[in-house]
Structure 1
Amino acid sequence: MTTTAARPVTPDLRAGLGQVILATLASTVGFWAWMVIAPLQNIYATEMGLDQGQISIMLATPILVGALGRVVVGALTDRFGGRKMFTGVLLTAVPAVLLVALAGTIKSYPLLVAAGFILGVAGTIFAVGIPFSSPWFPATRRGLATGIFGMGMIGTAVSAFVTPRLVGAIGYLPTHLLIAGVMVAMAALVWFTMKESPAWSSSSQPLFPKVKGALKLAVTWEMAFLYAIVFGGFVAFSTYLPKYLTTIYPDQVDPVGAGTRTALFAAAAVIARPIGGVLADRFGPKVISLISLAGIVAAAYIVGQQPPEGVLTGVTFLLMAAAMGLGMGAVFAWIGPSTPPDKVGAVSGVVAAAGGLGGFFPPLVMGATYNEETNSYALGLWLLVLVGAGALVVAGMLRDARATR
């Protein structure tokens, strides 16, 4: 009688693409809610009489909370899975959208900031999708998986393009009620149709030791620094670009036009993100990260020269967005092969938090460094050039990571 060694069971991952697309749709709705204040900032500034500092705080508050919350949400996803966490994040953020509606209706700036604080919960949705999406694809294609999920950032473009037009078409309050309704519907779709990858297993490790363990890994800090530049820059410009354009080019760009340009900026980054993941799978994430950072530095330098509004300005912002998108895809493709499987969620949460924090400070810096006499944000843009150049040097010193084929 002969015995044969049992072959390891290979998980059936054929449903992976559909599940990751579902996660991407959930992320899109979450990002739309997270960025719902920014496209209407001119309305709030006019009706509430806000100055540059108040506008910056209003825009930055949801980003800060969304960033810090990702650390906890990423670790919780390792334990409870994407289905429960996507549903929970979407439903928890619904009251925040309704509070924003109330604040705008009664013209209360303190309530608007408080609502923005709670609204930050919607921004944590990104930390759910990375540990959910990665197990649905083999190691050699996880750059693609995280890149596809990362396209959920298109929610920022949806917010910039659709929200002002909805307000003009159906009114301020109905617009926010509609967004809240979409969030509830998306949460229901996730709850009834999403499922975890067969390759995923729940981690029973307590939350704080898991986060602490992630913080002990060098790759966590390395990727956090790089992601703070590429994703932080994207969030900052997606938030502040309408204000920047209407301030620097007041005669050429109106609020609706600024929203359209911001939507195109976000779309360029969204399209480039999965491309960055695929290229990182093929050529290594280090090379793609270096290309990304070099592009950001070059584009920021050109914008800092404050060229006349037109083709050059538009192309420069699109190239900057594309460079940021490539970098986002590359950084998360770097995490997978460099991180123990049971810590991917925690590391992703910390890195995603760093990216959000990277988007928190620039709007404050831009508001603080604005030169009213020359109508210029040049100093803030020069800081981006310097930080990007520093990141370029750091990335060049890191060891590359390639998935085992």
Structure 2
Amino acid sequence: MSGDRHRGTLAVILASATLTVMAGAIIGPVVRQIQLGVGVSESLAGLIITTHGALIVVVSPIAGTIVDRVGPRRPYVFGLFLYGIGGGAGVFVDSFVPLLLSRVVLGVGVAFVYTGITVLLYTLYEGQRMDRALGLRSSANSAGAAVWPLVGGALGTLSWQAPFAVYLVAIPLGLAAIAAIPETGHGGRPDDDRSRLERLQAFFGVFRRVPSIPAVYLLYFGANLLLYAIVVFYPQLLAELGVTSTGLVGLYLAVNGAAGGVSAVLYDRLLGALDRHALVLGAFALWIGGLGAAVVVSTRLTAFVPVVMFGLGLGLVFPSSFAWIESLAPPDRQGSLSSYLASAGYLGQFAAPVVFGAVLGVAEIRGVFAAATLAALAAFAALGLALARRGRSAAGAA
């Protein structure tokens, strides 16, 4: 691939990556206006934010299977068009049921784009170039987390329907992808005449042979669980400090995303000095410090410390998770196995309000962050013990 073609391909992939992770947060600033506009309760209005995520969890494994069979390019382009159509439909509809159905289409689109991006990076790049591309992908996610909600909020001053126009960006991206994304040669896993049960047994047999893969899913689930503890509950902590303006709250969350972008951009360089296990341990240390700081912050200025520290850690964990799946998954299963990573992440996002909401029910808002700190500390200890046992086993074998 020529240099110009390479840059154009990566630019399209990274641009689409900014859209996937924050597909719900684009319209987050106008949920109240949507509720009034379509005349539904708060809980029904909340479904407009969460429905696409449920579809991602369900559809991602299907998308992964299709990617393994036909390669990532066509499912990825298909997903971009679905994303634009399903998300952008909100500009034109003004009643609840059609709007909810459009979010279903959006969720299917995100599932195909998310998995397509992952396998495209696996197949178009290798070695340090792949680590660099995975880091840039996480940085693009962070940029989307910082930028798109601000754009959505600004458009929300025009009408509750205007923020949905952001999703339409995916359509020209789909056209650009047709021109810029090459066929990879990935896919084409042959059909066999085994029963569905036998194929499922063979698929999950991979987990038995490579138990580290479920561990990566658990890591990614936990990272998203803690991320959404910040997204959902940090505004309440800020309110205790007198920060109630939606613009200022958005600034703190944008700083969280920007910090993740910085560490993700440096990811491949950090790998030159440390291995992935060390980077993830460092991320947990940052999370323990940041979430612990949230328990005691007392001023608006010091309230930036937790989001900066957490974001820096996130920029190390996300690309590490994708890189581990690439190295552990059989080549003909990368789509399927990476799709479960997406499902694990969105399950973590769903679980955060439930898990930490239960804590809030028995403790004040700072108790939520104390619980999150303990969760990060437990994960740090578990990973540290696992690495110590592996080191002793390797030493014994030698």
Shift of 1:287: 0.4
Change (3 A) 1:243 1:175: same
Q: Where does residue 145 of structure 1 map in the other structure?
A: 133
Tell whether 2:275 aligns with 1:284. yes
The SS at the match of 1:311 is coil
Change (3 A) 1:392 1:45: farther
1:161 corresponds to which letter in structure 2? Answer: L
Q: Where does residue 226 of structure 2 map in the other structure?
A: 233
Question: Can you give the 5+ residue segments of structure 1 that lack an aligned partner in the other structure?
Answer: 1-11, 401-405
Structure 1 distance, partners of 2:178, 2:233, is 35
Tell whether 2:284 aligns with 1:293. yes
User: In angstroms, what is the RMSD of aligned CA positions?
Assistant: 3.3
1:358-369 alignment, distance < 5 Å: 358-369=348-359
Structure 2 distance, partners of 1:113, 1:384, is 32
Contact kept, 8 Å, 1:139 with 1:336, in 2: the verdict is: no
Q: How many residues align?
A: 377
Structure 2 distance, partners of 1:262, 1:75, is 35
Aligned match for 2:153, one of 164, 170, 176: 164
1:82-136 CA-to-partner distances (Å, cap 9, x unmatched) read 3212221122233432454567x44x4x766665454333442322212111222
Q: Where does residue 327 of structure 2 map in the other structure?
A: 337
Change (3 A) 1:165 1:43: same
Contact kept, 8 Å, 2:83 with 2:110, in 1: the verdict is: no
The 10-residue stretch of structure 1 (348-357 or 381-390) with the greater mean CA deviation from structure 2: 381-390
The SS at the match of 2:287 is helix
Q: Where does residue 244 of structure 1 map in the other structure?
A: 236
Structure 1 distance, partners of 2:104, 2:216, is 26
Aligned match for 2:373, one of 358, 379, 385: 385
Contact kept, 8 Å, 1:34 with 1:123, in 2: the verdict is: no
1:288 corresponds to which letter in structure 2? Answer: L
Shift of 1:167: 1.8
Tell whether 2:212 aligns with 1:223. no
Structure 1 distance, partners of 2:98, 2:358, is 23
Shift of 1:279: 2.2
Change (3 A) 1:189 1:147: same
Question: Can you give the 5+ residue segments of structure 2 that lack an aligned partner in the other structure?
Answer: 392-398
Contact kept, 8 Å, 1:90 with 1:187, in 2: the verdict is: yes
Q: Where does residue 203 of structure 1 map in the other structure?
A: 189
Contact kept, 8 Å, 1:362 with 1:380, in 2: the verdict is: no
Aligned match for 2:248, one of 257, 270, 274: 257
Shift of 1:384: 2.0
Structure 1 distance, partners of 2:36, 2:295, is 27
Tell whether 2:252 aligns with 1:271. no
Contact kept, 8 Å, 1:235 with 1:356, in 2: the verdict is: no
Shift of 1:162: 0.9
Shift of 1:40: 2.3
Q: Where does residue 27 of structure 1 map in the other structure?
A: 17
1:182 corresponds to which letter in structure 2? Answer: V
Contact kept, 8 Å, 1:127 with 1:345, in 2: the verdict is: yes
Shift of 1:380: 3.0
Task: Give the TM-score normalised by the residue count of structure 2.
Answer: 0.81
The SS at the match of 1:283 is coil
2:376 corresponds to which letter in structure 1? Answer: G
Structure 2 distance, partners of 1:296, 1:360, is 20
The SS at the match of 2:189 is coil
Shift of 1:317: 0.8
Structure 1 distance, partners of 2:50, 2:353, is 7
1:254-287 CA-to-partner distances (Å, cap 9, x unmatched) read 1122223222222222332242344235421100
1:115-158 CA-to-partner distances (Å, cap 9, x unmatched) read 54543334423222121112222234422222222333122222
Structure 1 distance, partners of 2:370, 2:178, is 46
Tell whether 2:71 aligns with 1:81. yes
Tell whether 2:202 aligns with 1:188. no
Tell whether 2:120 aligns with 1:132. yes
Structure 1 distance, partners of 2:160, 2:33, is 10
Change (3 A) 1:236 1:344: farther
Tell whether 2:339 aligns with 1:352. no
Task: Give the TM-score normalised by the residue count of structure 1.
Answer: 0.80
The SS at the match of 2:54 is helix
1:47-101 CA-to-partner distances (Å, cap 9, x unmatched) read 76856x7776664443333234333323322332332122211222334324545
